[in-house]
Amino acid sequence: MRLLFLALLLCFATAQAGDLSLSVPVQPGSGVRISITSWLRQRPSIGFMPLKVTIQNNMSGAGTWELSRDDKRGGRSIYFSQNLEVPAKSERTFDVMLPIGAGGTSTYYDQFRFDGPGVSARVNLPMDTSGGSISAYSRYFALSESLHKTSWSDFTSSASSGRPIIGSAVDPVTAPTDWRGYTGLTQWWMTRNDWQNIPAASKTALLEWIALGGEVAVVCPGSDPSSVDSMPLPPGKGTVRRHGSGRVVAVFSGTADRPDRATINNLVSYGDYVEFENACARFQTGTWSQDIVGELKLRGWLIFLFIVVFAIIVGPVNLFVLANKGKRAGLFWTTPLISLVGSIVLALLILFQDGTGGAGVQLIHVDLLPADKKMAITQEQTCRTGLLLGSSFAIAEPNWMQPMDGRAIADSPKQRIPNGQTDTQESWHSTPDTRSGDWFRSRALQSHMLKAIRSSRAGIELTAGAIPSVVSSIDSDLKVLYVVDSDGKVWTAEGLATGEKRELTASSKEALNSWLISIRTEAKPGEILSHGILDGDLLNGWIYAEAGDAKSFAIQTLDSIHWKARRAFITGPYIPRQ
């Protein structure tokens, strides 16, 4: 009994000062030692949980270990596995991005498996350091150690009954170097010293997450807004600095060592507004997408006829003709054969109705980050599939893919797309290199959100003057381009080709706002895309554009889906030239 208790302690998580530490029990004398740490001290409710796995292999030969997890939520599940290879007499550390399925859970602990030479064990992931379980749409707030000690009670008191708050203290020094490691967060609150002491690689990943819609609050001493300019925050003016679709907010603590409760309540409420899990759950497919994708039609008479014929054959015909009296043993092969033939006929019916592969639409938002030579891409897509001959596809670039609910908009005559919380039979599989399973299913209407960071030198160079001119290095002609210069004046151009130098035409903020409103009314993007493109004030020094050809910006998924229409909207700071 005592040995069992000690073994359970080894699997149990420690959530004291420092990172979460998970010990994996190994067989005595195996020559293997495994340790797992995480920057997050408990599991978030969406995104990825970053794990750092260290394997010490003292065996005479190389070894391969598998880390796997099956995240089950009712009839929905996401299965992940990753193989970790370590040469003989060596030690290696692996960064594992553990995908977390949305929807909450009713248990207090989550588990993953670790299997390989010298080990076959389940390891517990703590899900709430306060002793509770994670509900759907829980918001994860990460706080630096000092702020967690002084202010955590103010955060929990801001929680609503339907939107609980979870979180933990985190160490900026050990922050992830992969932007996906921050996707489980609603916000990260830190002190000014924390911001300045984050390692360079972690700061790069953090800024990438912010560009994709993340938010960081930096608590500064005093109350002088001009002191913000001395910090290495993203470019801009004032205490709120826009970076891509996200922002860094400077918060002043005055003479205290903590922000006041009103400030916390205000920013926590903003976190409600941009929370990804909730936005995915209430995503509505717009009429533009529905009209192009089409409805999932069902020829009821054909299916009814199939059921009747199948019932007659598998019942009376099978029992009284194929395996009649004296041939009852034949049922052991006639019944499976009839079922096989029936499955083939049903597949042919699907093929007859919907064909193979599928058709879909994509709405894409591209945030230009010219100072970093990158772009942040957010993509919403909806597709209708027929008979899929395969559902596995490679992950061509590190990205985050999340199924979305896909209800039809309220004023649409079409029925709800059956891909939401009530459609409970889905199983998504993933490894670091591939996705398979029900990410794409035969004869279904499905919606997804994807996010990625991509290296790019794309940008708009602006030469100031009485009539400013621009040159585009964006890998697509621009259907429409609006430029808000440093003085707040609005300029425009249409049909701007890559590499073309063009003088701009004077426009107005009213015209730009009207164009942005037309995007909302025509394309009807979801909350996540709308937040990046349409919400917030117009920014001086930024461009707003639509690409003529959106294909080069798309995040790739299943090859057999024909994307019949794509629209890509581009925002971000321009590059000033003298």
Whole-number pLDDT of residue 514: 96
pLDDT of residue 417: 39
CA 525, 527, 528 angle in degrees (round to 5)?
95
Domain made up of 2-126: CATH architecture:
Sandwich (2.60)
The pair of structure tokens assigned to 30 is 């195996």
Instruction: Give me the pLDDT at residue 547, please.
Output: 98
What is the predicted pLDDT for the residue at 534? 83
Model pLDDT, residue 412: 43
- Backbone angles phi and psi of 148, in degrees to 5: -65, -40
Q: What is the 3-state secondary structure of 308-359?
A: HHHHHHHHHHHHHHHCCCCCHHHHHHHHHHHHHHHHHHHHHHHHHHHCECEE
**Quick one: how far is CA 22 from the chain centroid?**
25
- Where on the phi/psi map is residue 115: left (φ > 0), alpha (ψ -120 to 50), or beta? beta
In the block, which residue shows the tokens 């005592």?
2
User: Which pLDDT tens digits describe the chain residue by residue (578 residues)?
Assistant: 444 433 443 444 443 346 899 889 999 999 999 999 999 988 888 899 999 999 999 999 999 999 999 877 666 788 999 999 999 999 999 999 999 876 555 555 678 999 999 999 999 887 664 545 566 677 899 999 989 999 998 888 877 656 778 888 999 999 999 999 999 999 999 999 999 999 999 999 999 999 999 999 999 888 777 778 778 888 888 889 999 999 999 998 877 778 888 889 888 887 665 678 878 888 888 888 888 988 776 666 667 777 888 888 877 777 777 777 767 677 777 788 888 888 888 777 777 666 778 999 999 999 999 999 999 999 999 999 988 989 999 999 999 999 987 665 444 444 333 444 444 578 899 999 999 999 999 888 999 999 999 999 999 999 999 999 999 999 999 999 999 999 999 999 999 999 999 999 999 999 999 999 999 898 889 888 888 888 778 999 999 999 999 999 999 999 999 999 999 999 999 999 97
Give residue 82's pLDDT: 98
Give the integer Cα–Cα distance in Å for 402 and 47. 8
Q: How many residues does the chain have?
A: 578
What distance in Å separates the CA atoms of residue 237 and residue 293, rounded to the nearest whole number? Answer: 43
Q: What are phi and psi of 253, to 5 degrees?
A: -100, 0
- The CATH architecture assigned to 139-281 reads 3-Layer(aba) Sandwich (3.40)
Tokens of 530: 């709308």
Which pTM does this prediction carry? 0.87
Contact 138, 104 (CB under 8 A): yes
Q: What is the reported pLDDT for 229?
A: 79
Instruction: Specify whether the CB–CB gap between 541 and 338 falls below 8 A.
Output: no
**Dist CA 144 CA 189 (whole Å):** 6
Tokens (6 digits) for 98: 């553990």
Bridge partners for 569 per DSSP: 365, 546
Continuous H helices in 38-189: 145-157
Residue 133: predicted pLDDT: 56
- Can you tell me whether residue 8 is helix, strand or coil? helix
DSSP calls for 269-321:
HHHHHT-HHHHHHT-EE-HHHHHHH------HHHHHHHHHHHHHIIIIIIIII
Phi-psi region of 499 (alpha: psi -120 to 50; beta: other; left: phi over 0): left
Q: Tell me, what's the pLDDT at 108?
A: 58
Classified as helix, coil or strand, 169 is strand
d(CA 88, CA 66): 17
- Residue 17's pLDDT is 45
What are the domain boundaries of the chain? 2-126, 139-281, 354-578
